[in-house]
Each structure stands twice: as structure tokens, then as C-alpha cells.
Amino acid sequence: MLPKVGFCVIYHPFEQNAEKAPTIFENSITLLKSIKNLELIVADKLVKDVDSAILVGNQFKKAEVDIVCVKLVTWSSDDYILDMSSICDIPFIFWTYPHMHAGSMCGGLQFNMVFKELKKECIFVYRDDEQALEKIKTYATCSSLKNNMKSLRFLKIGHRTQGMAEVICDEYSVKEIFGPRIISIGIDKFKEEVNYIADNSASDLWGDVREKVGKISVSESDGIKAIKNYLALKRILKTEHISGVTIECYPDYMGELCLAFSLLADEGIPGACEGDINALILMYILMNLSGSPVHNIDPLYLFEDDNSIIGSHCGSGSFELAKSHQEIELANVRLANRGLCVLFPSKLGKVTMVNLVGRKGTYRMGIIEGEAIKTEMVFPGNPIRVKLPTSINKYLEIVEKFGLGHHWIIAYGNYLKSLEYLASLLKIDIIRFQS
């Protein structure tokens, strides 16, 4: 998923510095090309009048860019930006630089104001330094992610978990706000697919999985069954062009797809517990922002001595989330004592912990930047202990005030700014937890 960025410069022939427009254009292209994992579409003309604005707008529209980045050489008329935006109605970046007499900064602020007044998405970037380039990359990535989600198909197996109204899904809202369509099948239909998988086709893969962990506490038949579930699910995902899956696992199907979700995470496919589509959306977002598997947890216990929180689910995390592969145990699921779960204490590091709940008009995203610290196997799943940036009491106050839910997704790294941009693009509210 490479963000596709349309780049142009704009200037006013009357303003000081206008003669440097070609040079600034080339220098800015060089800077943008230094950004990794970005596809650059360069304008065929420098924008200085209505004709060039229309030509460049049509070029970017034809190229289906995710975002337009405009470098201001001088102050310029906002008519031309509005002409471009009328043709290519996507987010804009207004990129300015320090030059007192050229008016680059005041022009960018003017463009920003006009877009905000018209409720068009944009950001303002100042200078040509690494911080500016990182801001451009982050915003472009979020715009690309938003566009990418419009074509997604998510799979829901079974119904939403009974007794858990929090995960009720309004498919119209999901499609309208986030983009994905929800494809549903019954658990019985999934079981039929499993029956088509022969035991011998699963045995070799089960042997490979066994070699990657430190302890096996399940029978050979449990292992083979878990792999058959994984292979059946993979076949459905491929046939139906599915990018993420959730299942009504609790209580009757607990442990059946935990290993499958663990293995699929390393293939870039998120798997959410308990039929929670909002959690699945968030897992997809954070996996794409981080480029890595993520945790899906229930908050379980608070430690007031160091303002930390323990969270876990039954054990469906990627092996790569473990402190060590030698600490991974394959075992039956808790409570039901069946199936196959992947158990381990989680690795350490800076994390972003996020909750998404609601429906159209109420969607809200709680965001915590914290640090995963040492924990033992205090819960039979994938326990992770996160040191919060605020007190336990403050955390509880915010969760209570905004009605945040009990499924939190945790990614390694700091993604607050990315999530702020994405929430703005999606028109949903965010709640920050800060010290």
C-alpha cells in the first residue's frame, strides 16, 4: 500500500521569488523522493494561472492520487487551489518555507483557512526539514489507508456474541464511515469447509508450527484440528477476497480459531475476537500503520503503584508478539479446556493502545501512548502490561466519561499523530489520554 502523492508548485508571477519556481520545484521533488514507500506523481506544469491549475487538477484526478501536495513558491491566489480541488476533491498538503518577502507562509495559512471553512481536509507544513517530510509522509499514508479501506471485504463468522451489545454492528455505518463491506457466513458453513480439509494435508504444517514454540500442552489431534481450521479459513479468505475476519467464538467456539488468527496475523490479515467488527477495523488500521501484528486485549487489572494495566484475550496473538518463541505454549483455551491457543507473555517496548466504539454519529476512538513493561504469565493468553501516561484514576475517569469499550488494540510504536489524521479524514472523534 504505497501512498500516491500528486506534487505541484504554485506561484504568483508578480511576487518576489517567482523566478525561482523551477528550481524550487526540482529541489522539492528531490526531497519527496527521499521519502521511502511513497509513489510520487509530478505535475506537468507549474501552477500560476487558471489554465495550469485545471491542467494539473485533471492530471492528478486521472492518476487517482491519494493526496495533493502543493509547494508555495510565493503567495498566490487561492482561486487556483479551489479550481484544483473542484476537479480533484481529495485532501491537500500546503507546504511552505521560510522567506519573508515571498509570502509563502502567509499564502499557505490562507489556503488552510479557506479549506477549513469549506470543510475540506488539509494540513499545513512549514520548512524543508526531516520533520516536515515525516509530516507529509504520515498524512499521505493516512489518506491512502482511508482510500484503501473503501474496497475491503471483512468476514464475520456467526453472529455477534450474545450478551455483548457493545459489538453490535451497523453495516451501513461501517461502509459509509470506514469503507469495508461485511460478508457473513454461519459457523455451520465454516465447519463444512473444515470437513473438506484432509488430516494429512494439515500434518506437515502442524509439524512446522510445533518447531517454533517452546512447549506443547495439547494432543496431536488438537493440533491437526487447529491447522485444518486455519487451512479452511485461508481458503474462504482467498475465495471471497477477504482482508480481515472475526468470529462469534465465546462461549461455544472458544479456542477453535485462535491459532488460525495467530498465523494469519503474520500474513497481514487481522482476526478479531467475539464478532467485534469495530475491533477488526482497528486491527486492520494499526497493522497497516505499524507494518506488524497487533494485540487484541480485554483490560483485566490495574496496578496503582506504577499506573499500569494488564490486558489479554484467550491467546490468538502472533508469535512475533512474544518476548521469546521459547516462552510460547500451545494449550487448550481457558474455561472450555478445548481447542488450541497460543500462550505467551508479550514483548516490551513503546506502544499505542486504542479502542474504537460506536456507530454513525457516535464513533469515537480512545488513544493511549504507553510502554509495555515486564509481565509474567499472569493470565492464560497473551498478557501485556502497559504503563499508562496518566494516573489510574484519570484513566478510569476518561473511560467512564466517554463510554469507551472493553476491546483494546495495541500496536508497538507511537501512532498518535497518524490516528489523529485518520480520525479527521474519517470524521470521527478521538479521546486522548495524556499526563
Domain span at residue 406 reads 153-289+296-433
Same domain? For 109 and 166 the reply is no
The CATH number linked to 125 is 3.40.50.10940
Which pairs from 184-191 meet CB under 8 Å and 24+ separation? 184/155, 184/156, 184/157, 185/155, 185/156, 185/157, 185/236, 186/157, 186/158, 187/157, 187/158, 187/247, 187/248, 187/253, 190/157, 190/232, 190/233, 190/236
The pTM of the full predicted model, rounded to 2 decimals, is 0.96
Rounded CA-CA distance 431/361 in Å is 15
Rounded CA-CA distance 8/419 in Å is 26
Q: How confident is the model at residue 363, as a pLDDT?
A: 97
Sheet holding 92-96, edge to edge: 39-42, 4-10, 67-72, 92-96, 122-126
Other CB atoms within 10 A of residue 13 CB? 11
Q: How confident is the model at residue 33, as a pLDDT?
A: 97
Q: How confident is the model at residue 348, as a pLDDT?
A: 98
Pairing, β 215-216 against β 329-331: parallel
Domain count, the chain: 2
* Residue that the C-alpha cell 456467526 belongs to: 158
Same domain? For 267 and 400 the reply is yes
State which of 106, 131, 149 marks the end of a domain: 149
Same domain? For 191 and 136 the reply is no
Alpha helices per DSSP H over 243-391: 258-265, 277-290
Same domain? For 157 and 121 the reply is no
Q: How confident is the model at residue 156, as a pLDDT?
A: 97
State which of 117, 149, 181 marks the end of a domain: 149
Same domain? For 142 and 282 the reply is no
- Cα angle 426, 3, 80; round to 5: 75
Do 85 and 24 form a contact (C-beta atoms < 8 A)?
A: no
CA contacts within 13 A on the Cβ side of 153? 10
Residue 367 φ then ψ, to 5°: -130, 125
- Nearest CA-CA partner of 269 in 295, 245, 233: 245
The CATH number linked to 160 is 3.20.14
Same domain? For 160 and 144 the reply is no
Do 93 and 425 form a contact (C-beta atoms < 8 A)?
A: no
Q: How confident is the model at residue 88, as a pLDDT?
A: 95
Q: How confident is the model at residue 160, as a pLDDT?
A: 84
Residue 288 φ then ψ, to 5°: -80, -35
Name every residue whose Cβ is closer than 8 Å to that of residue 133 and which is 6 or more positions away in sequence. 31, 32, 34, 35
E strand segments, 152-293: 153-157, 181-185, 215-216, 244-247, 271-272
Q: How confident is the model at residue 52, as a pLDDT?
A: 98
Pairing, β 349-357 against β 364-373: antiparallel
Same domain? For 271 and 329 the reply is yes
Rounded CA-CA distance 365/24 in Å is 39
CA distances to 241, 268, 340 from 36, rounded to whole Å, are 28, 20, 39
Name every residue whose Cβ is closer than 8 Å to that of residue 262 and which is 6 or more positions away in sequence. 316, 317, 318, 319, 342
In tens digits, what is the pLDDT along the chain, a chain of 435 residues?
A: 799 999 999 999 999 999 999 999 999 999 999 999 999 999 999 999 999 999 999 999 999 999 999 999 999 999 999 999 999 999 999 999 999 999 999 999 999 999 999 999 999 999 999 999 999 999 999 999 999 999 999 999 998 888 898 999 999 999 999 999 999 999 999 999 999 999 999 999 999 999 999 999 999 999 999 999 999 999 999 999 999 999 999 999 999 999 999 999 999 999 999 999 999 999 999 999 999 999 999 999 999 999 999 999 999 999 999 999 999 999 999 999 999 999 999 999 999 999 999 999 999 999 999 999 999 999 999 999 999 999 999 999 999 999 999 999 999 999 999 999 999 999 999 999 986
Same domain? For 119 and 160 the reply is no
State which of 149, 184, 205 marks the end of a domain: 149
Same domain? For 305 and 390 the reply is yes
Same domain? For 126 and 157 the reply is no
Same domain? For 227 and 80 the reply is no
Other CB atoms within 10 A of residue 157 CB? 23
Q: How confident is the model at residue 368, as a pLDDT?
A: 97
Same domain? For 140 and 165 the reply is no
Other CB atoms within 10 A of residue 207 CB? 11
157: three-class secondary structure by DSSP: strand
Q: How confident is the model at residue 129, as a pLDDT?
A: 96
Name the residue type at position 212. Answer: K
